[in-house]
């Protein structure tokens, strides 16, 4: 299904004749500094890399499971490059920011909670009328069009569904724009096929009222893409019909009545386009043509007559912009982006695959926070997931964990006899927010796994005064701990807090004992 959309940017419009200028960008690879976009006579474009859902390697777009759009992600008036990534808790919206020169750290993100794209057409538009783009998902599986709007003002956490009376067909395409300058987002339905017609439905009453129905006179538009832009600066959207060819791309422009072709341009840009857009790139007050194709190349063609007295200033580019040295790159290897080169990375990946960890930055969950200390509550969650515990015992075991997000996990751990509490002899508290020490962790794991071998073996030199020495020895005998001072590894560091990366290694080594 074609995924087409419209963004009305700072000021849209395309001039009445082709211009010799072409805007091509340098290819951009994560981890490498790239030069700002530049005017050039060669065709290169912007190459963006992304994480593959199959093998988690950084590879060039595109992925058939993702949805690609051009739209304003950060509400600065200039379009960005979107990819929408399906996740188990919704859809992640990632956009490479034009105002940051598509640099290696330029990707912004949002998360549409519980939103699944499926076979729906995805568009962007300011339905909420707050100057920011909402996510609109059009369902054409029934006889009439259904629209789910995921609301940007709520951080895409809330949505609403609009059931329209607009009939659908397989050849229809859809756009959103303000047809009559009333500040509401109107719906455009382009009925394609043998004869293209345009229907416009009012956003005032959620698309119940038809504002316009007209035959474009264009004939067959099969294979064309559509977008809106203001050619004549009357603040009313004109229709752009973009038809790719083998040697060039035809761009027909229809004025606001949509019954006459006002101009036809032939642009020497070819390819299989995922999206097209009219948006002011160079800051001259007129719209430029953006093409985003399946090779991951963004091409912007400057093809207009500059307004009098308005210089080309590339208004969105900050000449002083540069990525912070400690910024997280967008492209990364593996499930998490912050564990590359960590000595425990393999075990972190292993417990993620085993669904023992979900990450540390919900809802994105693409960070693991390997250097952070593990809390007792987090430890409970790790063990419950690893052991597959489900029974909470029908009671609330501790009095201090009611506000903890790990409350259920703590009860499951107590029901299994793996935790006794943190305030003996009463043991009425669990201390969920306390950092867990390595010796406490040893006790948790030994109880969880039922380890018995190794008592009295005195595996380490620095744990003789620990009340958990026998647990530490059993853990070492099982090969789950190797010590804390490689390569000698004759110490365990019992009083030191456990980091999340260390916890991953402990859990990964313990997994073979579970269910054995």
Q: Provide the CA 72 distance to its chain's centre, in angstroms.
A: 14
- 8-state DSSP, 182: S
Task: Provide the Cα torsion 456, 461, 465, 471; round to 10°.
Answer: -40
For the chain, give percent helix, strand, coil, nearest 5.
15, 25, 60
pLDDT at 84: 92
Verify cis geometry, omega within 30 degrees of 0, for the bond prior to 363.
yes
Map out the domains of the chain as residue ranges.
23-301, 345-513
The stretches of 276-375 forming alpha helices (DSSP H) are 345-353
Helix (H, G, I), strand (E, B) or coil at 442: helix
Tokens of residue 377, six digits = 């509550």
- Do 90 and 67 touch, CB atoms closer than 8 A? no
User: What is the predicted pLDDT for the residue at 300?
Assistant: 87
Q: Which residues of the chain carry a pLDDT beneath 50?
A: 1-61, 516
C-alpha closest to that of 185 among 217, 116, 138:
138
What is the greatest pairwise CA distance in the chain?
91
Nearest to 440 by CA among 346, 503, 370: 503
Cα–Cα distances in Å, from 429 out to 369, 397, 408? Answer: 27, 8, 14
Q: Helix, strand or coil for residue 160?
A: strand
User: So what's the pLDDT on residue 120?
Assistant: 95
Whole-angstrom Cα distance, residue 59 to residue 68?
15
The confidence score (pLDDT) of residue 322 equals 82
What pLDDT is stored for residue 157 in this prediction? 93
Identify the helix (H) or strand (E) that includes residue 274: strand 273-279
Q: Measuring CA to CA, which residue among 118, 106, 58 is closest to residue 82?
A: 106
Contact assessment for residue 290 and residue 279, using Cβ atoms and an 8 Å cutoff: yes
Q: What is the pLDDT of residue 104?
A: 79
Length of the chain: 516
- In this prediction, residue 232 carries a pLDDT of 80
CATH class for the domain made up of 23-301: mainly beta
């Amino acid at each position: 299904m074609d995924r087409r959309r419209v963004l009305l940017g700072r000021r849209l419009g395309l001039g009445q004749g082709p211009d010799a200028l072409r805007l091509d960008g340098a290819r951009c690879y994560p981890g490498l500094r790239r030069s700002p976009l530049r005017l050039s006579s060669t065709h290169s474009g912007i190459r963006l890399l992304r994480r593959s859902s199959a093998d988690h390697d950084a590879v060039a777009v595109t992925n058939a499971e993702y949805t690609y759009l051009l739209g304003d992600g950060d509400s600065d008036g200039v379009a960005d490059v979107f990819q929408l990534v399906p996740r188990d808790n919704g859809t992640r919206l990632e956009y490479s920011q034009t105002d940051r020169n598509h640099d290696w750290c330029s990707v912004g993100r949002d998360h549409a909670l519980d939103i699944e794209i499926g076979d729906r057409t995805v568009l962007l538009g300011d339905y909420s009328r707050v100057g920011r783009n909402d996510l609109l998902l059009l369902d054409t599986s029934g006889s009439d069009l259904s629209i789910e709007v995921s609301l940007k003002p709520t951080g895409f956490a809330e949505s609403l569904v609009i059931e329209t009376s607009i009939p659908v067909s397989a050849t229809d395409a859809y756009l959103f724009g303000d047809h009559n300058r009333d500040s509401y987002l109107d719906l455009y339905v382009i009925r394609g096929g043998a004869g293209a017609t345009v229907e416009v439905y009012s956003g005032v009453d959620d698309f119940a009222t038809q504002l316009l129905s007209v035959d474009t006179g264009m004939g067959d538009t099969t294979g064309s893409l559509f977008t809106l832009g203001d050619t004549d600066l009357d603040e009313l959207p004109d229709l752009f019909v973009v038809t790719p060819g083998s040697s060039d791309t035809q761009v027909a422009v229809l004025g606001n009545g949509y019954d006459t072709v006002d101009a036809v341009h032939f642009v020497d840009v070819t390819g299989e386009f995922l999206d097209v857009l009219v948006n002011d790139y160079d800051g001259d007050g007129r719209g430029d043509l953006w093409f985003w194709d399946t090779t991951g190349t963004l091409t912007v063609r400057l093809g207009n007559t500059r307004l009098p007295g308005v210089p080309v200033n590339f208004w969105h580019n900050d000449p002083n912009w540069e990525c912070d040295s400690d910024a997280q790159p967008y492209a990364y290897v593996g499930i998490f982006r912050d564990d590359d080169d960590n000595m425990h990375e393999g075990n972190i990946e292993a417990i993620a695959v085993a669904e023992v960890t979900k990450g540390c930055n919900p809802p994105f969950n693409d960070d693991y926070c390997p250097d952070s200390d593990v809390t007792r509550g987090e430890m409970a969650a790790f063990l419950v997931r690893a052991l597959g515990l489900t029974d909470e015992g029908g009671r609330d075991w501790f009095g201090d964990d009611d506000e903890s997000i790990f409350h259920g996990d703590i009860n499951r751990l107590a029901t299994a006899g793996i935790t006794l509490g943190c305030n003996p002899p009463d043991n009425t508290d669990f201390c969920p927010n306390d950092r867990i020490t390595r010796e406490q962790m040893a006790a948790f794991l030994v109880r969880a796994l039922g380890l018995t071998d190794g008592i009295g073996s005195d595996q380490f030199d620095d744990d003789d005064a620990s009340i958990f020495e026998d647990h530490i020895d059993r853990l070492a005998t099982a090969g789950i701990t190797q010590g804390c001072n490689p390569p000698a590894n004759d110490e365990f560091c019992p009083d030191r807090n456990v980091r999340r990366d260390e916890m991953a290694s402990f859990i990964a080594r313990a997994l073979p004992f579970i269910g054995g």
